[in-house]
Structure 1
Amino acid sequence: MNKLNIVADENIPLLQEFFGELGRIRTYPGRSICAAQVRDADVLLVRSVTAVGAELLDHSAVQFVGTCTIGTDHLDVDYLQRRAISWSSAPGCNARSVVEYVLSALARVKPDWLDAEFGIVGCGNVGGLLYRQLRALGLPCKCYDPLLTGQQNPDLASLEQVLAAPVICLHAPLTTTGPYPSWHLLDAQVLQQLRPGTVLISAGRGGVIDNQALKKVLQRRRDLTVVLDVWEPEPGIDIDLLQLVDLGSPHIAGYSFDGKVAGTALIYQALCRHLGRQPEITVEQLANPQQGALGEIKLPSGDRQALLNSAIIAAYDICEDDHNLRQLLSMTTGRPEYFDQLRKNYRQRREFSHYPVSGVPATTEGAAIARDLALLGFPVVGYF
């Protein structure tokens, strides 16, 4: 087989390990990949920050585009189909990472979240996993997703009903056309009507919330608690809005090492299908930190809520990401570049499954807590 010319976002992990045998790989910052760089490429591998359409590909030799992400709003799919360019995304690859981000946010801004009712907007791979985990914990949920049926999700409700919940989690893809566009779904009117004390967590796409409207609402309503991982626009986020939200992060909710590697693996498999060959490499075969447990989490004494929060924060504390992003507030220049540097140099965050938990009491209540921890993905020492 002739070796391929592959152009890739430099932030995609394990590129050489997965794709090295298929061709020559050139990497660039994803946000700055340009037409000249892909002109002689056969394969383009991206993440969510690269807009892929006519401007980038019109005069290129690209025959396959892979995005190592769940979302596809950065791909002009109609254009790719017209040009007969094969493409693939990585649905579900980082869903667990995003759900763990939401749980860490809850542990920090609403530590009594086990007593809350949840509204979830968008119940695809991410929102669907969050919904299943919350329901498994016995928590009431209402979901808005006009693309699903009651058979697929028995807790479907109207958008108005979902936005009346005390905790709202946004996981809708960003769409501007079709019967259910999500762009600015939460506009000034909707935001102003949120019930007092609402917790709003946005970890899908920034444009689902009208960010300028949100800023104006938060300037008047300090009863709202807001966590933003995604912004409008990125990377040049509104510094005044960052000052008003309770927790902020640079679009890294899905940035666990596990989730990113899963995305690379899915696109490698898709490219092999495109080439008509069998995949020869799996994640398990690679010699990297993907395998094995990390440090054991020893729980203190406490009730169900306190112990779950302790485990979550010990495995992943969102406050570190918030602290790093807030360095923007002291900068007068270079803010967009710093936002992207935080993403490029993001620490190797691992998912809950790599953190064994010990110290769960050997009581009837302890057994129930162990079950809850296992539902969230933690290995529990001494149980099961």
Structure 2
Amino acid sequence: MSAGPRILLTRRWPAMVEQRLAASYHVTFNEDDRPMDAAALAQAMRDHDALCPTVTDRVTREVLLTQGRRARIVANYGAGYDHIDLDAARGAGLAVTNTPDVLTDATADIAMTLMLMAMRRAGEGERELRAGDWSGWRPTHMIGQSLDGKLLALVGFGRIARAVAKRAQAFGMRVAYHSRRPAADMPINAYFADLGALAQQADVLSLHAPGGVETRHMVDAALLARMPAHGVLVNTGRGSLVDEAALAQALAARRIAAAGLDVYEGEPQVHPSLIALPNVVLLPHLGSATIEARTAMGMKVADNLDRFFAGEPLLDPVA
């Protein structure tokens, strides 16, 4: 083990990344590979020069302002960072980095997976077959919806949303979007400044907005009520974007047809009403879960750490 700066990884990372880090740093691994509580994170801030958390670690103000803090950088393993109190980090003079631009394709693939599974009722079908309840092919069995000709409504229009749009167009889908401002390279009639108006026309509403106070529960009971009855909601963005209780009620009442979720409000907990419903596909946050993407994410963290401890400008600063 290297005698370099001490860093803590709050989860196990791909072996190639761990090997690279171990060559330059004194690395501590969270062998339990489960979320660390506030006390453990605070102790890590005292014992290490860098904390390397993931999206399910709550890096709160109390953790960041720990008395006797040794850590000088929080190098996040993930593009999202709403689990880190950036204001507190700035106030404490802590650097914070993330890993953008390397998980676009992997996450877009999962959005399409959820879309196809929800619209074609693939999750329901697999559960029926595994339970031994399938009686054979019949013309009216588990009929879903085609993607061809449907309107994909994207909420947020960053890199991942654009990658989803490209994939969806290959399935014959039409694309519209809602974002802070219209994109110069998109037809003007594809842009909706009003999210409610977009939801009203959406065959599939796919969420790609950032997390935070401004976007929390942007998909609530009122927005779900504006979607058509055959509409499908897909979320690969942030769990906080959706009021899960309202979504469960809408799905149970068939006010919308289905949903596909990869992220949740209280990860790793999922609203129990959602788990009980047949018309929702639930994945355990697999958006970036390819060996290529997860390795690239870890290498981004390593690059940022190398630059920080060498006194060079950071590649991906967020605070």
TM bucket by the smaller chain?
0.7 to 0.9
**Match for residue 257 of structure 1 among 287, 291, 297:** 291
Match for 2:10: what amino acid? D
TM-score, length basis structure 1: 0.66
- Which digits, 9 at most, give the CA deviation of each residue in 1:326-367, with x for residues without a partner? xxxxxxxxxxxxxxxxxxxxxxxxxxxxxxxxxxxxxxxxxx
Which residue does 2:142 correspond to in 1?
none
Q: Which amino acid aligns with 1:46?
A: P
| 1:96 is the counterpart of 2:105 | yes
**TM-score (structure 2 length as normaliser):** 0.78
Q: Could you list the per-position Cα deviations for residues 164-221 of structure 1 after superposition, in whole angstroms to 9, with x for gaps in the alignment?
A: 2101111111110xxxx11010111111221120011111111211111111222212
Structure 1 unaligned segments of length 5 or more: list them. Answer: 279-384
Paired residue for 2:237? Answer: 204
Residue 268 of structure 1 corresponds to 302
Query: 2:196 maps to which residue?
Result: 160
Structure 1 runs, 4 residues or longer, greater than 6 Å off = none
| Cα distance change of structure 1 residues 274 and 153 upon mapping to structure 2, 3 Å threshold | farther
Deviations 1:273-328 (A, max 9, x none): 212389xxxxxxxxxxxxxxxxxxxxxxxxxxxxxxxxxxxxxxxxxxxxxxxxxx
Q: Which residue of 2 aligns with 1:40?
A: 47
CA distance in 2, matches of 1:272, 1:30: 26
Determine the structure 1 residue equivalent to 2:24: 22
Decide whether aligned partners of structure 1 residues 214 and 138 sit closer, same or farther in structure 2, where only a CA change above 3 A counts: closer
The alpha-carbon deviation at position 223 of structure 1 amounts to: 4.8
SS of corresponding position for 2:275: helix
What's the offset of the Cα at 1:123? Answer: 1.7
Deviates more, 1:262-271 or 1:131-140: 131-140
1:142 is the counterpart of 2:176: yes
Structure 2 distance, partners of 1:222, 1:157, is: 23
RMSD of aligned Cα (Å): 2.2
The alpha-carbon deviation at position 39 of structure 1 amounts to 0.9
Partner of 2:35: 31
Quick one: which of 52, 65, 74 aligns to 2:59? 52
2: CA distance, partners of 1:236 / 1:137: 33
**% same residue:** 21
The 10-residue stretch of structure 1 (217-226 or 89-98) with the greater mean CA deviation from structure 2: 217-226
> Which residue does 2:317 correspond to in 1?
none
Q: Please tell me the residue identity of whatever aligns with 1:168.
A: L
Deviations 1:67-87 (A, max 9, x none): 121111011112222222112
Please list, as runs of the form range in 1=range in 2, the aligned pairs for 1:66-77 lying within 5 A after superposition: 66-77=75-86
- Equivalent in 206, 224, 245 of residue 169 of structure 1: 206
Structure 1's 273 and 222: CA in aligned 2 closer, same or farther, altered over 3 A? same
Letter of the aligned partner of 1:66 in structure 2?
A
| Number of equivalent positions | 273
Change (3 A) 1:218 1:139: closer
1:65-119 per-residue CA deviation (whole Å, 9 max, x = no partner) reads 1112111101111222222211210112222111111222233333521332110
**What is aligned with 1:62?**
71
- CA–CA separation in structure 2 for the residues paired with 1:38 and 1:27: 14
Looking at structure 1, the residues matched to 182 and 206 of structure 2 have their Cα atoms a distance apart, in angstroms, of 20
The structural deviation recorded for 1:272 is 1.6
Q: Which amino acid aligns with 1:241?
A: L
Q: Secondary structure at the match of 1:39?
A: helix
SS where residue 87 of structure 1 aligns? strand
C-alpha distance in structure 1 between counterparts of 2:275 and 2:84, whole Å: 28
Instruction: Give the secondary structure class of the aligned counterpart of 1:168.
Output: strand
> C-alpha distance in 2, partners of 1:184/1:230?
13
Q: 2:116 aligns with which of 92, 95, 107?
A: 107
Report the counterpart of residue 78 of structure 1 in structure 2: 87
Query: Alignment partner of 2:302: what SS?
Result: helix
Q: Any conservation in 1 of the 2:217–2:240 contact (CA below 8 Å)?
A: yes
The Cα shift of 1:233 comes to 1.8
Distance 1:36 1:216 in 2: 41
Paired with 2:58 and 2:308, the residues of 1 have a C-alpha distance of 22
- 1:236 CA displacement: 2.1
The separation in 2 between residues aligned to 1:96 and 1:230, in whole angstroms, is 17
Tell me by how many angstroms 1:40 deviates. 1.8
SS of aligned partner of 2:58: coil
